[in-house]
Structure 1
Amino acid sequence: MNNQYNFAFFDEGSKREIRRATLKAIGIPGYQVPFASREMPIGRGWGTGGLQLSLSLVTTEDVIKVIDQGTDESVNAVSIKKLIQGTTGIDETVNTHEATLIQSRHRIPEYPLKEGQIVVLQVPIPEPLRNVEPSEYVTKRLHADGDYSGAWMELFEKIVKYGRLATIAAHPVMVEERYVMTPSPIPKYDNPRLDGCEALLLFGAGREKKIQAIPPYSKVVSLGFEDYPFELEDFTGKRCCQCGATDVYLDEFEDEETGEKYYQCNDTSYCLDRMNKKEVS
């Protein structure tokens, strides 16, 4: 631990303010709670919202895992991990089962989450109505009235243009039959993992100064129409070229020499774990 900083970087007053906002977010699932977003030693848009949540909640007993688009070894993930470790001295892991605090950008781990774990997701734009309504005052009123016609209209426009619900990521969800939220830019493949999740899911938007939460075992439904229901990415017939997994989110690659496409697990630690188990058996 770096003794030049307070434990977990922030002063205690800042931590308390963020925790109060977090508690309010947990008490009102899906609601956007404003908070006084702090200046961080990383640029806004690179995970400052999630990092502030992690630093305000971490304890000496925690084990941290940080991932960025499925990998534990990206520049962003390593930098955030170093800051948390350097100011707390806590242990790190790539194993989802071992982690008590998981900060993620764009993915939810493949292994099912469990009670007692906290997952912090980095969010660039938390407002699901922002593309149809630029005014913050108006969007707050629409949320209060439960008027989400703008979100439905945006989905309808995709059907008109593409013939299907052509969302790739950040597909809007209804939380506890009350608030519509954007669950960060996770692929829609991960949306079902939000419903009834045993872990506490927190969403931090540093630039927009908002915190949201999905408490454990909450009802989360992805928006869709009766004749155009919400559908996941289709990986039928595809498998990971490294571990052979077929029931996970896969990244597509192309061989530069042959032009043939191949696939690999997006969650690199999950893939490595499967390969290690194969070697042991």
Structure 2
Amino acid sequence: MKKLKTHFAFLDEGSKKEIRRATLKAVAIPGYQVPFASREMPIGRGWGTGGLQLTLSLVGKEDVLKVIDQGADESVNAVSIKKLVHSTTNVELTEATEDATLIQSRHRIPEIPLTKDQILVLQVPMPEPLRTYEKKEYITKMLHAEKEYSGIWLMLFEQIMKYGRTSTDADHPVLVNERYVMAPSPIPRFDNPKMHHSEALILLGAGREKKIYAVPPYTDVASLAFDDYVFQKEDFSGEACHLCGATDVFLDELVDDHTGKTIYQCNDTSYCVDRLNKLEQEEVSTVDA
């Protein structure tokens, strides 16, 4: 019986080369959506196939992989992707942001600042920031080519007129390298500033829409806003994580099962655990002293 040939990182070499070529073009033109031949993956489209294809095309035997889903390392989506990558590469897995060389994420950028030795891959459901008011692909391509973004400015203006503020709580559009308006993936507004002059390479992949785009290191990234209605990220002033006490991170609003009161908790679970461990070590050191 003939043994089936298996490939490192699941995809065949031809597929990985094609995805890498599209990735190189995306890096060369920050914020520009590069079409690519999205492959069929053993997970449903919309569950991170674009990000997964980027990860599989870039991962090497020496890489250390971290996968998170909305800040959590243990969610179903994150665990499934980690299992697939690990089973086809045997690369080391980690939950520590600072130890990872390759990070795939859905809806969050880690709290710990990334470094030049890391690559962040973001999963994207809808890469076209103009799609909310223009359904035709050939027209959105033309609008990008002509740098004609009045429609998206009008959309933001209408939100201000209706709600008194822009209502894009996630996936707030950004201007990359003073040229292309880009969808940053459904990360919260809190994470948008982390893209500006990031030391790490940020890659964004949309499998269903068959697009790859990128924010190279040290690139200007500005969230769209008016002079008199400046961009504002989520404000957690006066609140702190009920577990580790962090105040300068993105917090989830929860309800205490026992008291019924509102409590806050770090969205980035590994950051919270790491902070708790450090606080415990400091307490032990103080007692020993």
Q: What is the TM-score of this pair, normalised by structure 1?
A: 0.98
Q: Distance in 2 between matches of 1:47 and 1:41?
A: 11
Q: Distance in 2 between matches of 1:258 and 1:93?
A: 35
Q: Give the deviation of 1:165 after TM superposition.
A: 1.5
Render the CA deviation track for 1:71-117: whole Å, top value 9, x for unaligned: 00000000000000000000000011110000000000000000020
Q: Distance in 1 between matches of 2:208 and 2:48?
A: 9
2:286 aligned residue: none
2:14 aligned residue: 13
1:58-137 alignment, distance < 5 Å: 58-137=59-138
1:220-235 alignment, distance < 5 Å: 220-235=221-236
1:218 aligned residue: 219
1:205 aligned residue: 206
Q: Distance in 2 between matches of 1:165 and 1:246?
A: 24
Q: Give the deviation of 1:258 after TM superposition.
A: 3.0
Q: Give the deviation of 1:175 after TM superposition.
A: 0.2
1:1-281 alignment, distance < 5 Å: 5-281=6-282
Q: Distance in 2 between matches of 1:257 and 1:111?
A: 32
Q: Give the deviation of 1:4 after TM superposition.
A: 6.0
Partner secondary structure for residue 120 of structure 2: strand
Structure 2: tracts of 5 or more residues without a match: 283-289
Identity of counterpart residues, as a percentage? 68
Q: Distance in 1 between matches of 2:6 and 2:47?
A: 21
Of 240-249 and 256-265, more deviation after overlay is shown by 256-265
Q: Moved runs in structure 1, 4+ residues, more than 3 A? A: none
Number of aligned residue pairs: 279
Of 255-264 and 6-15, more deviation after overlay is shown by 255-264
Q: Distance in 2 between matches of 1:5 and 1:48?
A: 20
* Aligned-CA RMSD value: 0.9
Of 160-169 and 25-34, more deviation after overlay is shown by 160-169
Paired amino acid for 1:31? Y
Structure 1: tracts of 5 or more residues without a match: none
Partner secondary structure for residue 131 of structure 1: coil
Q: What is the TM-score of this pair, normalised by structure 2?
A: 0.95
Partner secondary structure for residue 97 of structure 1: helix
Q: Give the deviation of 1:161 after TM superposition.
A: 1.1
Q: Give the deviation of 1:257 after TM superposition.
A: 4.3
Q: Distance in 2 between matches of 1:122 and 1:150?
A: 25
Q: Give the deviation of 1:5 after TM superposition.
A: 2.6
Q: Give the deviation of 1:142 after TM superposition.
A: 0.1
Q: Distance in 2 between matches of 1:33 and 1:161?
A: 35
